[in-house]
């Protein structure tokens, strides 16, 4: 299938494992043509060009911007059909979706069989983490989607040269993707045959009949599983975390934080707080470094962010980025005359246009009979981080950056204080493992539904939760300079109104930063250390020019013992089902409960 030029590009890597994988993929998927890509600009331009020519992307009026649509039924990650392949008779955890390996492989390979007929197969090389780094993991992506390949050239570091350094070894990740048969809109036809199957031992993922990047782009949420498995069997961590620098005014220092937040809990907006710098917004690798700190890198180099409520007031940094000249892909928005529209953009949306349902008209119903949103709630933009004004200069540092604090961000209206610091490292592991996010109530007066999401990593957990928590506990024992562990909740409410403004998170960030350096005292409570009123009053004044009253403080930082005991009960229930939890963790869980009970009486 390969012409001389393509064969040479492949053979220059000097790696028989890669050649074997490419041969097997060709035999299975039966493409019409095969192209091997390098890191060159010429190759990247080719991907961009064909992506527009074949209709997977359409140009928008703004130069460099294109729009891509995923199938109506492929607008988010398919959790149900994303499974870990597990050898017969093995059990992992109640938290993990698994299927029997032999059977699962047979199924997914049968769906991939002939999936590229009449299409072009792309063989691409990327690097997870900075190149030339202890963190780097070379990754091979084979796909028939130019949109997937294009997204990856924006989101991930080039890896063709990095693969040469493998010297023939098989220590790389491998992703085989096919969008499958396409309809007249270039969308996956056979959504019922959408499968994302993860072979942990083989460091490979097979994904078929999908296009939404969370399902299709190998290096993002598919690689996070392979890396999490690898990390938890070695001596490092792979976390669903942003990495950012916090810059307190007048103190002439930067303190790096990582932050894990479930969807819709304020993750990207925290990493984008004005005045701070961003390294990554989604996935981090963490390693113990020889300076006694844990160092973190961004696995990616771009952002695949939700484009909702992105407007000049609430999200000025992103708004500017998505409305100015650059290479950008936007997906599942509403397009009218080459201009994209999204929910919460600060303007009324047109009543007609083209969107994820096809030709859109206000009040229309989709193929499932549900009303169609003008733009999807999970519409996305894809951009490079280094083009942002707030990109951190160390974003590509092969040594990563030393981390001063971990932030776990939950979401509830009535339980957790806006910010707290854990009592100790092991208590912090408990705090991270018990993150909950509350979905907005469907009906007025109905309580929100709380989803438990340990370390915001639940969807990607591929090792037993006991092992995962043990590795977190052990990280603390290996470090001379321990990061402090914090928890945030931006969503407390009173009488159905938020108690905090969107930008108050800047104050919590500055308080956490100050705590890392011993600048502030704190009050010990059963759930952790909370700020003192005086410090917050000063910080609100300095950072936001806002008067922060004692009444604000009392409402926000009251320890809601009854609600916290309810949460403790929920946590007991979920963790009781898990085998082999570390004793230290169980002890933290019991002790927090006891402290709360004593406080109550
Ligand atoms: C998330 O849902 O955590 C995301 C988007 O970052 S996706 O790539 O779909 O996972
Ligand atoms: Mn994510």
Considering every ligand atom, which ligand is closest to the CA of 215? 1
225 lines ligand 1 (CB under 6 A): no
63-74: pLDDT as tens digits: 999 999 999 999
Ligand 1, atom 6, lies closest to the CA of 282
CATH number at residue 12: 3.40.449.10
Query: Given a cut of 80, is residue 442 above it in pLDDT?
Result: no
Ligand 1, atom 1, lies closest to the CA of 263
CA of 304 to the centre of ligand 1 (A): 8
- Number of folded domains in the chain? 3
462: left (phi over 0), alpha (psi -120 to 50) or beta: alpha
Atom of ligand 1 nearest to the CA of 215: 9
**Beta bridge partners of residue 353, listed in sequence order:** 360
What's the pLDDT score for residue 245? 98
**Beta bridge partners of residue 330, listed in sequence order:** 67, 381
547-599: pLDDT as tens digits: 999 999 999 999 999 999 999 999 999 999 888 999 999 999 999 999 999 98
Query: Given a cut of 90, is residue 439 above it in pLDDT?
Result: no
Last residue of a domain, one of 333, 361, 386: 386
Using CA atoms, how far apart are residues 196 and 193, in angstroms rounded to an integer? 10
Domain boundaries, position 349: 304-386
Atom of ligand 1 nearest to the CA of 306: 5
Whether residues 269 and 170 fall in one domain = no
The pTM (predicted TM-score) of the whole model is 0.97
Query: Given a cut of 90, is residue 510 above it in pLDDT?
Result: yes
Using CA atoms, how far apart are residues 69 and 379, in angstroms rounded to an integer? 9
C-alpha pair distances (Å), 176 with each of 108, 173, 223, 372: 11, 10, 12, 32
Whether residues 162 and 293 fall in one domain = no
Whether residues 126 and 153 fall in one domain = yes
Whether residues 348 and 419 fall in one domain = no
Give the residue-averaged pLDDT of 214-237.
98
Give the pLDDT band (50/70/90) at residue 441: low
User: Which residue, 378, 445, 453, 458, is CA-closest to 413?
Assistant: 445
What's the pLDDT score for residue 339? 98
Query: Given a cut of 70, is residue 145 above it in pLDDT?
Result: yes
Q: Percent of the chain beyond pLDDT 90? A: 93
CATH number at residue 560: 3.90.228.20
Query: Given a cut of 80, is residue 445 above it in pLDDT?
Result: no
- Cα Rg of the chain, angstroms: 24
Catalytic residue positions, numbered: 265
What's the pLDDT score for residue 350? 97
In a domain, 71, yes or no: no
299 lines ligand 1 (CB under 6 A): no
Ligand 1, atom 5, lies closest to the CA of 214
CA of 214 to the centre of ligand 2 (A): 9
What's the pLDDT score for residue 440? 66
In a domain, 341, yes or no: yes
In a domain, 76, yes or no: no
Last residue of a domain, one of 336, 357, 386: 386
Other CB atoms within a 10 A radius of the CB of residue 501 amount to 12
In a domain, 69, yes or no: no
CA of 594 to the centre of ligand 2 (A): 34
41-89: pLDDT as tens digits: 999 999 999 999 999 999 999 999 999 999 999 999 999 999 999 999 9
Could you tell me the strand order of the sheet in which 358-361 lies? 339-341, 334-336, 352-355, 358-361
Whether residues 199 and 264 fall in one domain = no
57 lines ligand 1 (CB under 6 A): no
Alpha carbon of residue 175 to chain centroid: 18
Give the residue-averaged pLDDT of 16-39.
98
389-437: pLDDT as tens digits: 999 999 999 999 999 999 999 999 999 999 999 999 999 999 999 999 9
- On average, the pLDDT of the chain sits at 96
Query: Given a cut of 80, is residue 166 above it in pLDDT?
Result: yes
What's the pLDDT score for residue 313? 85
299-352: pLDDT as tens digits: 999 999 999 999 998 888 899 999 999 999 999 999 999 999 999 999 999 999
What's the pLDDT score for residue 60? 98
Residue among 214, 260, 383 to mutate when testing ligand 1 (max atoms within 8 A of CB):
214
280 lines ligand 1 (CB under 6 A): no
283 lines ligand 1 (CB under 6 A): no
What's the pLDDT score for residue 178? 98
Using CA atoms, how far apart are residues 271 and 282, in angstroms rounded to an integer? 10
Last residue of a domain, one of 367, 386, 405: 386
Whether residues 534 and 510 fall in one domain = yes
Atom of ligand 1 nearest to the CA of 220: 8
| SS3 state at 121 | strand
CA of 538 to the centre of ligand 1 (A): 36
What's the pLDDT score for residue 94? 84
Whether residues 549 and 583 fall in one domain = yes
Give the residue-averaged pLDDT of 202-221.
98
Whether residues 446 and 368 fall in one domain = no
Whether residues 327 and 308 fall in one domain = yes
Whether residues 204 and 244 fall in one domain = no
Residue with tokens 């009123």: 533
In a domain, 70, yes or no: no
Whether residues 293 and 310 fall in one domain = no
What's the pLDDT score for residue 1? 86
In a domain, 20, yes or no: yes
In a domain, 72, yes or no: no
Whether residues 98 and 142 fall in one domain = yes
Structure tokens at 145: 């989607």
Other CB atoms within a 10 A radius of the CB of residue 363 amount to 7
What's the pLDDT score for residue 207? 98
What's the pLDDT score for residue 425? 98
What's the pLDDT score for residue 31? 98
CA of 401 to the centre of ligand 2 (A): 20
Query: Given a cut of 70, is residue 243 above it in pLDDT?
Result: yes
In a domain, 207, yes or no: yes
Ligand 1, atom 7, lies closest to the CA of 214
| SS3 state at 304 | strand
Give the pLDDT band (50/70/90) at residue 600: confident
Residues 6+ apart with CB under 8 A from 331: 67, 68, 69, 70, 213, 379, 380, 381, 382
Where helices occur in 251-378 by DSSP H, the ranges are 267-271, 316-322
User: Which residue, 535, 532, 537, is CA-closest to 548?
Assistant: 537
Judge contact between 302 and 409, C-beta under 8 A. Answer: no
Using CA atoms, how far apart are residues 420 and 523, in angstroms rounded to an integer? 10
């Amino acid at each position: 299938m390969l012409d001389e030029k393509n064969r040479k590009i492949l053979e220059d890597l000097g790696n028989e494992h890669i050649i074997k994988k490419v041969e097997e993929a060709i035999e299975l998927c039966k493409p019409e043509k095969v192209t091997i890509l390098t890191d060159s600009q010429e190759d990247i331009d080719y991907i961009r060009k064909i992506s527009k020519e074949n209709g997977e992307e359409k140009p928008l009026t703004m130069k460099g911007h294109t729009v891509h649509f995923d199938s109506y039924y492929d607008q988010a990650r398919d959790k149900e059909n994303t499974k870990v392949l597990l050898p017969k008779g093995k059990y992992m955890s109640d938290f993990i979706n698994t299927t029997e390996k032999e059977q699962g492989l047979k199924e997914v390979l049968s769906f991939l069989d002939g999936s590229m007929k009449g299409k072009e197969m792309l063989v691409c090389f990327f690097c997870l983490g900075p190149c030339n780094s202890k963190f780097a993991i070379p990754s091979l992506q084979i796909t028939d989607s130019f949109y997937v390949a294009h997204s990856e050239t924006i989101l991930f570091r080039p890896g063709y040269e990095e693969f040469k350094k493998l010297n023939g070894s098989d220590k790389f990740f491998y992703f085989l993707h096919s969008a499958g048969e396409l309809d007249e809109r270039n969308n996956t036809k056979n959504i019922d045959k959408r499968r994302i199957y993860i072979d942990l031992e083989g460091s490979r993922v097979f994904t078929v009949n999908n296009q939404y990047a969370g399902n299709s782009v190998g290096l993002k949420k598919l690689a996070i599983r392979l890396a999490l498995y690898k990390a938890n069997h070695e001596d490092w961590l792979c976390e669903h975390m942003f990495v950012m620098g916090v810059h307190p005014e007048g103190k002439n220092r930067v303190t790096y934080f990582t932050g894990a937040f479930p969807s819709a809990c304020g993750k990207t907006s925290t990493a984008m707080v004005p005045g701070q710098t961003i390294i990554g917004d989604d996935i981090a690798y963490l390693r113990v470094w020889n300076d006694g700190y844990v160092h973190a890198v961004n696995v990616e180099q771009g952002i695949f962010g939700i484009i909702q409520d992105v407007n000049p007031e609430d999200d000025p940094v992103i708004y500017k980025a998505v409305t100015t000249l650059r290479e950008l892909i936007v997906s599942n928005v509403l397009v009218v005359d080459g201009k994209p529209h999204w929910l919460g953009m600060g303007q009324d949306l047109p009543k007609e246009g083209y969107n994820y349902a096809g030709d859109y008209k206000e009040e229309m119903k989709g193929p499932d009979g549900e009303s169609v949103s003008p733009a999807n709630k999970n519409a996305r933009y894809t951009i490079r981080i280094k083009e942002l004004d707030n990109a951190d200069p160390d974003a590509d540092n092969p040594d990563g950056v030393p981390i001063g604090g971990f932030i776990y961000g939950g979401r509830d209206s009535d339980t957790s204080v806006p910010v707290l610091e854990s009592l100790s490292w092991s208590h912090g592991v408990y705090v991270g493992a018990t993150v909950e996010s509350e979905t907005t109530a469907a009906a007025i007066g109905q309580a929100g539904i709380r989803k438990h999401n340990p370390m915001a990593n639940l969807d990607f957990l591929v090792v037993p939760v006991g092992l995962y928590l043990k590795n977190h506990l052990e990280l603390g024992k290996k470090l001379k300079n321990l990061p402090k562990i914090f928890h945030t909740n931006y969503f407390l409410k009173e009488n159905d109104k938020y108690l905090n403004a969107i930008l108050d998170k800047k104050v919590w960030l500055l308080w956490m930063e100050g705590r890392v350096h011993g600048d502030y005292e704190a009050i010990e409570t059963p759930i952790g250390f909370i700020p003192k009123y005086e410090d917050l009053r000063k910080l609100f004044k300095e950072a936001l020019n806002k008067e922060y009253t004692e009444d604000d403080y009392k409402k926000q930082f009251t320890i809601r013992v009854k609600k916290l005991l309810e949460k403790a009960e929920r946590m007991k229930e979920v963790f009781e089902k898990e085998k082999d939890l570390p004793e230290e963790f169980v002890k933290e869980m019991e002790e927090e409960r006891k402290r709360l009970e004593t406080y109550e009486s």
